[in-house]
Amino acid sequence: MRCLRQLFLASLWCATSWALHESDVGVVDWHSKLIGVPLHGSIHIAPIFHDDLVLTATSNNVLAALNTSDGAIVWRSIYEAADPIMLFKIHGNTVTSLSGPGGATLRAFDIPTGHLLLEKRLHNPLNGRLHEPSNLGTSVIHLERGQDDAPRVLALTNGDTIRSINSVTGETEWTWNSPDQGSLIMYSQVIVDHSTVYGIGLAKSVASYTLHVTALSISSGEVTASVNIPANIADGLSDFLGVSAGSGSAVTPCIAWLEQGAIKAALLKPDLKGQIMAIPALKYKSIVDVGLTRNGQFMAVKDDGAAQVLHLDAQTSSLRPIWEFAGSTPSKAQSESIFMGSLDANGEPRIARVYWSNAHNKAVHQTFAAQLAEGKGSTSGFTFPFETQVHGVFSQIAFDGVSTGKGNSSTRMLLTTTTGAVQLWQHDKMLWVREEALATIQVAEFVELPEKKIIGSHVGLEEETFLERITRQFSDAKNLPQYLLSFATRFATGSYATVSASAASSEDTLSRDAFGFRQVIVAATSHGKIFGIDSSNGKVMWSRVLGLGWAKKVGGTIVPVKMFVTRTVSDGETPQVMLVVQRRATNSLVDTVLFHIDALTGADARQDAPPTVGDILEGVDVISGPLIDAFMLPTANKTLAFLDEFLQVRLYPDTAASLAEFETLAPSLHFALRAGSAGQRQILGHQVTLSPDLSQFYVAYPTWSITLLAGEEIIALIPNTRGDVASVGKVLGNRSTLYKYLNPHLTAVLTSTLADSPPTCSVYLVDGVKGSIVYHASLPAAEGKCDVQAALTENWLVYQYFDDEYAGVGQSKGHHVVSVELYEGRGADEKTRSSDITSYSNKTLELNVYEQTYVMPHGITALAPTSTKFGVTTKDIIVSSRKNSVQSIPRRLLNPRRPKQKPTTEEMEEMLVQYDAVLPDDPRLILSHNYEVANVRRIVTSPSLLESTSLVFAYGLDLFFTRVAPSSTFDVLSENFNKAQLVLTVGGLVIAIMVTKPMVAKKRLKERWYQ
């Protein structure tokens, strides 16, 4: 029996291993490795050039190095979500980072290879103080080698602790803690000279901030002096800087701050005795760190908006303005300037300025060098053709000062745009671009391609009509023998498209392949851009910027909410999608906007659409306010219904036909919505009704409500993804039948109750029409949070959770996957026709629940069931694990009816195997091969033209696409099938029939004569 069970499992895994062969890597799948959009807003996390690399920290919590020649990822280090990157600093060939609350962890990496050289926990992350911005209260400075020839790092963490750490061994040489533990003084910056470490902090006064400086011995950490500096600082985050000039023993440290429009400064000495100096006769509104404070330079913006360069002279110990950028005052002729500093090949500071010029309709780059023109300073510049209508506007620049020594023609800079693009420019040529906004996809859907369409960029369609197809086929069949010979030749030589060849196709025209594997993945990002991705190779076919409408005058952001495929190839129409977004303007107004898009070209699909400007799409304002939810009506026109905050229904398109369809459907429509008051949440089922004058539609008073526990919060509402169902019953080994519970109104509800002790999570299955709870499970909230994932399809619910405690017999600590199957009636052979009866019938509650819990070796970040065209193929569960892989779990392994004892003969006939609590961590089930598919947030599946095959797209930090065949490719001949032998065999049989038929007829005639 044990051998039979092992044989069954082996055959089960082989069924899915057809797509896991090494030869299929890159043919049936593709993987896009991303880093995320670079962080900006602080010089401590901004991108920086280092030789032929660019180092950057990103919004996806990644520290990475990019190759400047082609933009390829040289290495990346992915930090955990609870360990955000605070800052990073470069010293030689080492980059050091502080991460976690208050800078809890220090790490050092080798820049050329990305190898981790040092990792040291500085304090417990639970004791970290969270501040905004995230790098407040943290700082890192690399020191020269000490007496033992070992490099050292000074680390300021939590705003109150400074450590001297051996950067080779990680040993702490000395530690200084603020006496008040940060309650009165928050230290934010550290600067040094040859003998002293100066910790600069902010102390809160009645109306503003004052400065406090503590001097420490660089060798022992002993306090040599500690003084308050009488200052009146309005903004404690950006109105003061630590500046130093000179080198070696001649370093001159200084602290500069903005006080009531004046810039003041104080030189720092070990005894902290000195005078405050000020820049007279000038009024300023801000000071800006451009990365050159250790070289004695920073920027200051005057009241009129003009930008100046301020310089600390180490010889005269004076702070003075040395340059003012001409034309830097804001005006309608140009955008606001962005500044960034860097060092040239000789170690001299240079400052780059980039802005958009309306006069030139181009971007302008200027470089200032203080040492040129006999020490008076000079600038040089050029324009470059930045496409603002394609990439938005630039939000940040990184400047390679070393490249300026060869003239403007070799000047390199890295641009980060508001749409999430990362571009490297050399002079006026863009060398490469990375669309890192794809690491922030919020919604994505598959769209089928037409059978024969020729699509060019911004070009119309050419389609073969039905009449043209019939004419072509008759023309092909005129010479029947030649047509049959050509058919046999194609069949015998295998010139038909194979499964692998279909995926590897690189057609220039946008058309469907033989098996429907090639589709368009339409994906909307959180950076206001939508992409059309070719599912066969992962290349971006088109991209569009989502316009802000009226909000472009004040600024704002676009937040994708839902996406609907409203027109498909099967409808005989051009595929279209509708994207529903929330537009959040900077003036706090929120609107609901819809974008109607041609899925093949990205063009505006509205018939009355205004002409587009470049690649910018403008949407339709459907609700002047926030959105509660949006649904697609089950009609031929696929009308969208929107519910606003007052539960009024708005339709798109708002036409007479849509209104008529909605009026017919309104009495039978039901929605499961989030609602409730503070401290209490409810699931409310609403029935849509019509107002008397039919001018507006409202959602009526709740027909039912489920009051959950006090403090219980709804995490997610997951509708039933039921498609075509090939079979409504399951025949058991004893010839009885279990009929599937196919209630189309089921909704899975995930909730959390974190206020309880201990906190708990819950999973509900709710009938969306009358509110009956079909299934409920209470789960532990490990580590004080509910990390629950769920998928619901047909009569099958799968969810996962983490339990950090042993919970009695049969329960174990770890990541659990629960499989739940619902069947009609109270037992076998009981049939209630759940898919046909009204939800108000009492029979909808007559069901049988099978449930079983399994343990996964790794945590799950997303899961989704496979989907096929007709629902014949067995559904598997596709999961992404925390070990950065995507794998398939066969449904048979998740069968909740697996016996816990030795299977009986009837159970073996059903191919059931004995229950094992631990799901196998078998590499043959991994779909992502050796790809590192990091931080997957969602998995989308779609059917192909082959009933056996389902398409899988996973997105998060990385993108991954593959296809799976849960029941093997039963509807496709293998690629090594001997087609020539089949043709010869069939041809031989035809010839044999033709030869033997007259002989048989003659024999029968002779027998009749004898009779």
Q: Which pLDDT belongs to residue 459?
A: 39
- 11: confidence class by pLDDT, cuts 50, 70, 90: very low
Say whether pLDDT at 62 is over 70. Answer: yes
Q: Which range, 142-146, 252-256, 435-439, 729-733, has the best average confidence (pLDDT)? A: 435-439
Q: Which pLDDT belongs to residue 7?
A: 43
Please tell me what DSSP assigns to residue 58.
Answer: B
Q: What would the pLDDT profile of 743-788 be if each residue is shown by its tens digit?
A: 888 999 998 876 666 778 889 999 888 888 899 998 888 777 788 9
Q: What would the pLDDT profile of 629-646 be if each residue is shown by its tens digit?
A: 999 988 888 899 999 888
Mean pLDDT, range 605-625, rounded to an integer = 85
Helix (H) or strand (E) holding 1008: helix 979-1010
Distance of CA 427 to the CA centre of its chain: 32
Edge-to-edge strand list for the sheet holding 616-617: 441-448, 519-525, 529-534, 540-546, 616-617
Q: Which pLDDT belongs to residue 876?
A: 94
Say whether pLDDT at 137 is over 60. Answer: yes
Asked if residue 899 has a cis previous peptide bond (ω within 30° of 0), the answer is no
- Name residues whose C-beta falls within 8 Å of residue 999's C-beta, 6 or more positions apart in sequence: none
Q: What would the pLDDT profile of 523-570 be if each residue is shown by its tens digit?
A: 999 999 999 999 999 999 999 999 999 998 899 999 999 999 998 877
Mean pLDDT, range 401-430, rounded to an integer = 90
Lowest-confidence pick of 400-414, 483-497, 561-575, 704-718: 483-497
Higher pLDDT, residue 91 or 468: 91
Q: What would the pLDDT profile of 87-106 be if each residue is shown by its tens digit?
A: 999 999 999 999 999 999 99
Burial degree of 746 (CB within 10 A; 0-12, 13-18, 19+):
buried
Q: Which pLDDT belongs to residue 17?
A: 40
Query: How many angstroms separate the Cα of 871 from the Cα of each of 247, 632, 723?
Result: 73, 22, 7
Q: What would the pLDDT profile of 184-235 be if each residue is shown by its tens digit?
A: 888 989 999 988 999 999 888 767 788 999 999 998 999 999 999 888 888 7
- 465: confidence class by pLDDT, cuts 50, 70, 90: low
Say whether pLDDT at 115 is over 60. Answer: yes
Q: What would the pLDDT profile of 295-323 be if each residue is shown by its tens digit?
A: 999 999 999 889 999 999 888 888 999 99
Q: Which pLDDT belongs to residue 162?
A: 95
User: What is the distance between the alpha carbons of residues 641 and 166, in angstroms, rounded to a whole number?
Assistant: 63
- Name residues whose C-beta falls within 8 Å of residue 77's C-beta, 6 or more positions apart in sequence: 62, 63, 64, 107, 109, 114, 116
User: What is the distance between the alpha carbons of residues 699 and 15, in angstroms, rounded to a whole number?
Assistant: 48
CB 266 within 8 A of CB 275: yes
Say whether pLDDT at 496 is over 60. Answer: no
User: What is the distance between the alpha carbons of residues 255 and 319, in angstroms, rounded to a whole number?
Assistant: 10
- 681: confidence class by pLDDT, cuts 50, 70, 90: low
Mean residue pLDDT of the chain comes to 85
Structure tokens belonging to residue 651: 């339709």
Q: Which range, 279-288, 470-479, 514-523, 715-724, has the best average confidence (pLDDT)? A: 514-523
Phi first, then psi, for residue 439 (nearest 5°) are -80, 0
Paired residues of 524 in beta bridges: 443, 530
CB 285 within 8 A of CB 336: no
Please tell me what DSSP assigns to residue 504.
Answer: H
Residue holding tokens 């044990």? 2
User: What is the distance between the alpha carbons of residues 549 and 92, in angstroms, rounded to a whole number?
Assistant: 48
CA nearest to 888, candidates 789, 965, 798? 965
Q: Which pLDDT belongs to residue 984?
A: 85
**What is the chain's length?**
1011
User: What is the distance between the alpha carbons of residues 381 and 143, in angstroms, rounded to a whole number?
Assistant: 36
Beta strands in 370-487 (DSSP E): 378-384, 394-400, 412-417, 421-426, 429-435, 441-448
Structure tokens belonging to residue 45: 């996390």
User: What is the distance between the alpha carbons of residues 744 and 343, in angstroms, rounded to a whole number?
Assistant: 65
Count CB-CB contacts under 10 A for residue 828: 17
Break the chain into its structural domains and give their ranges.
179-287, 978-1011
Phi first, then psi, for residue 682 (nearest 5°) are -135, 150
CB 627 within 8 A of CB 621: no
Pairing assessment for the beta strands 116-121 and 105-110 based on DSSP bridges: antiparallel
CB 600 within 8 A of CB 574: yes
Structure tokens belonging to residue 194: 């040859």
Residue holding tokens 């062969």? 21
Helices (H) and strands (E) in the chain, counts: 8, 65
The DSSP line for 93-122 is TEEEEEESTTS-EEEEEETTT--EEEEEE-
Say whether pLDDT at 655 is over 90. Answer: no
Q: Which pLDDT belongs to residue 920?
A: 87
Cα end-to-end span (Å), the chain: 62
Helix (H) or strand (E) holding 684: strand 680-690
User: What is the distance between the alpha carbons of residues 27 and 499, in angstroms, rounded to a whole number?
Assistant: 10
The DSSP line for 975-1003 is TT--HHHHHHHHHHHHHHHHHHHHHHHHH
What does pTM read for this prediction? Answer: 0.89
User: What is the distance between the alpha carbons of residues 420 and 425, in angstroms, rounded to a whole number?
Assistant: 16
Q: Which pLDDT belongs to residue 215?
A: 95
Q: Which pLDDT belongs to residue 453?
A: 47
User: What is the distance between the alpha carbons of residues 788 and 755, in angstroms, rounded to a whole number?
Assistant: 17
Say whether pLDDT at 680 is over 70. Answer: no
Mean pLDDT, range 822-832, rounded to an integer = 90
CA nearest to 152, candidates 178, 170, 137? 170
- 659: confidence class by pLDDT, cuts 50, 70, 90: confident
Q: Which pLDDT belongs to residue 473?
A: 62
Rounded to 10 degrees, the C-alpha dihedral 321/325/331/337 comes to -100
Query: How many angstroms separate the Cα of 296 from the Cα of each of 202, 247, 252, 338, 603?
Result: 22, 11, 9, 19, 51
Radius of gyration of the chain (CA): 34
Rounded to 10 degrees, the C-alpha dihedral 34/39/40/43 comes to -120
Say whether pLDDT at 928 is over 70. Answer: yes
Count CB-CB contacts under 10 A for residue 321: 15
Mean pLDDT, range 789-802, rounded to an integer = 93
- 8: confidence class by pLDDT, cuts 50, 70, 90: very low
Pairing assessment for the beta strands 627-632 and 196-204 based on DSSP bridges: unpaired
CA atoms within 13 A on the CB side of 133: 17
User: What is the distance between the alpha carbons of residues 889 and 892, in angstroms, rounded to a whole number?
Assistant: 8
User: What is the distance between the alpha carbons of residues 455 and 962, in angstroms, rounded to a whole number?
Assistant: 25
